[in-house]
Amino acid sequence: MTRRIDNLRNIGIIAHIDAGKTTVTEHMLYYSGAKHRVGMVDRGTTEPDDDPEEQERGITIYSACLTFDWNDVHVNLLDTPGHVDFTAEVERCLRVLDGAVVVFSAREGVEAQSETVWRQADRYQVPRIVFINKMDREGADFEGTLDEIGKRLASSPVAVQIPVGEGPAHTNNPFRAVIDLIDMKMLVFDPETGGEAVSAADIPEDRLETAALWRDAMLEKLYDFNDELLELALQEEQIPGDLIRKVIREATLHQQMQPVLCGSALRGIGVQPVLDAVAAYLPSPLDRPPVEGINIKKKDKPERRKPDPSEPFCGLVFKVLPAKTGDVSWVRIYSGELKANSRALNPGKEKKENVAQLWRIRATKKKEERIDRAQTGDIVGVIGLRNSITGDTLCDTKAPILLESIQFPETVISMAIEPESATERDKLAGTLDMLLRQDPTVKVASGDTGQTLISGMGELHLEVIKHRLSRDFNLKVKFHKPQVSYRETIQDAVEVTGECHRQVAGQQLFAKLNMRIEPFDSGQRPVTVLNLCPPGSLPDALLTAAIEELNSCGEGGGHVAGFPLSKLKVTVLGGEAHEDTSTDAAFRIAASDAFDKGLEQGGPVLLEPIMRLDILTPEDYLGDFVGDLQQRRAIIVRTDNRGQLSAIEAHAPLRELFGYSNAMRSLSQGRASCSIEPLHYAAAPPEVVKEYRI
């Protein structure tokens, strides 16, 4: 698997559902020679969507890794889901990618999940290029979509191509080609070859003036990034295309801009220039900064690893595909080299792992290829890991480094399942364990009634799990109606004192612990525990026991209905200890007492998940949608026009949105579309609290 690292591209295709990601991926595979025929999403014949659930629904559910060569560049491509219920797949992929291609629909523009994946890419500082797809659709608007990308995403898109025409073939000005603003040529894609044959022609006279204006606008933005470019412009000298591409690459790598291309993947127009842009503008592993972590054997001393094969091995497990014969762990290698039949360290769990086999990943198992070694920048499948899960670090046993893990959003919806027999219960336990290894966003809890509670990211997520359990694993279980996953917090900050005055097994115990508990949204942990105890006021062992107990209490339920706690901060302020009667157990009791007092005195609050809805409907139905949303306790944030359609953004409680897809079809005669994603948790109204109060 040895190759030049500067010719390697680890990229992802990300977008809102139905923007055309998988169709773009299919054409990339076809034009690169990795496939002999273009698969169709509607027919379930695409390479990435090989799962029966994906083929049946016509959407991507699981991220797929594909590899191919384009000219001299080797590409590891991750095709990701666009539905918000599976946004965790995007999260884990962006964590390990070097660059991304963001696909937008020229008709719908920036949609809800478009914003979500863009923010995820911002968080991981992933350079990206933009492809405005579906230029052949009714209502396609290249300039409007470009403007929306800049405004709604607070980004810097720069058009390096413009379309020739917009809309389908029966319109007066149909989309039929693209104009390259760098070389000032019109690129024509031969429909007889499915767009595979591309020819460069002179720009028609009636398009020259428009193309010149767009080119000037492109150069105006590029002048800010390069003095040589500006000097040539001031001297009115011709600007070489290679210099323009160099400046675009440098600005893209520094995330100062995003080159924008356009086309129609379904008609085979504009995909090859996207592949050229991947090679020209997106980073190789060498262009990314060294990965940073900590050395747990040196008191969490910061460590860095350069993207260099000579460095000690370091990688991150970002996905696990469970199998009875042995799980396949997807690993991104950040430094060094990994060999088959070797040993690696999992520093987070302080355990050594056997790397029995290495595989070059494909979307389908029949196309996977076994290899002996993998190097810096590679994404490989590893068989043999027993203790490592998604987000775990693997490294050289002699040079430990612990990388930042992957954070996933909280679940918002649950359903109860009940096995029909003891035999099915045992089978269910094993199956759920397999699902948990594959999907870290699934949460499983056992109820007092013998039911098992499964929590997920949305109705579709739970529906897919339900189908897998009954169809793929042939389990005989009863499924109950989905329920909202509530959370609990407190209203006010309070200071409390927990005490322990009791006799246990003939020994008198004493402890006193002062703490403050307050509402706090860290965005990371549901309950944050801090220590501000004056140095030396309490023995370290007793303080450690108290903090461990507070962390344990934070994982429990609240005082309203026993739902998980969230948005809380607990600060230890001090305490009292006696030399003879203060023990670890005493301080655990005092910590628990203080925590319970804090929850009660702070004013318990029930939190319900609030969802963001982005609805696109014909204008005739706008009033019906607004009225229906208001009945669902929704807040209408904005409405605007997109051609002949109206867009609505609203925030509504999840409990009011069960079955909303059916209601939406009824309101619009099936002509509207909607995406729903978690937004935040907010205090539930009294009628909801009354329903759930213990």
Tens digit of each residue's pLDDT (9 = 90 or more) over 279-292:
999 999 999 999 99
For residue 604, give both structure tokens: 């318990």
Could you tell me the domains of the chain?
5-287 (3.40.50.300), 291-403 (2.40.30.10), 413-475 (3.30.70.870), 488-602 (3.30.230.10), 609-692 (3.30.70.240)
Q: What is the pLDDT of residue 1?
A: 45
pTM over 0.85: no
Q: What is the pLDDT confidence band of residue 188, given thresholds at 50, 70 and 90? A: very high
Cα separation, 132 vs 152, in Å, equals 15
Q: What is the pLDDT of residue 366?
A: 47
Q: What is the pLDDT of residue 693?
A: 73
Q: What is the pLDDT of residue 595?
A: 96
Tens digit of each residue's pLDDT (9 = 90 or more) over 34-55:
877 786 665 555 555 455 655 5
Cβ atoms of 328 and 389 within 8 Å: the answer is: no
Q: What is the pLDDT of residue 40?
A: 67
User: How much of the chain, in percent, has pLDDT values that exceed 90?
Assistant: 54
Cα separation, 684 vs 490, in Å, equals 12
Q: What is the pLDDT of residue 103?
A: 95
Q: What is the pLDDT of residue 171?
A: 83
Which among 176, 611, 630 has a CA at the least distance from the CA of 413? 611
**DSSP 8-state symbol, 325:** T
Cα separation, 16 vs 131, in Å, equals 13
Q: What is the pLDDT of residue 46?
A: 58
Tens digit of each residue's pLDDT (9 = 90 or more) over 593-611:
999 999 999 999 999 999 8
Q: What is the pLDDT confidence band of residue 10, given thresholds at 50, 70 and 90? A: very high
Cα separation, 315 vs 392, in Å, equals 9
Q: What is the pLDDT of residue 236?
A: 83
Q: What is the pLDDT of residue 301?
A: 86
> Between 248 and 369, where is the model more confident?
248
Average pLDDT over residues 230-254: 92
Q: What is the pLDDT of residue 367?
A: 60
Average pLDDT over residues 558-576: 91
Q: Worst-scoring range by mean pLDDT, 169-183, 314-328, 385-399?
A: 314-328
Cα separation, 378 vs 358, in Å, equals 11
Q: What is the pLDDT of residue 365?
A: 41
Whether 107 has a pLDDT exceeding 60, the answer reads yes
Mean pLDDT for all residues in the chain = 88
Q: What is the pLDDT confidence band of residue 324, given thresholds at 50, 70 and 90? A: low
By CB atoms closer than 10 A (0-12, 13-18, 19+), residue 313 is buried
- The H or E element containing residue 636 is strand 635-642
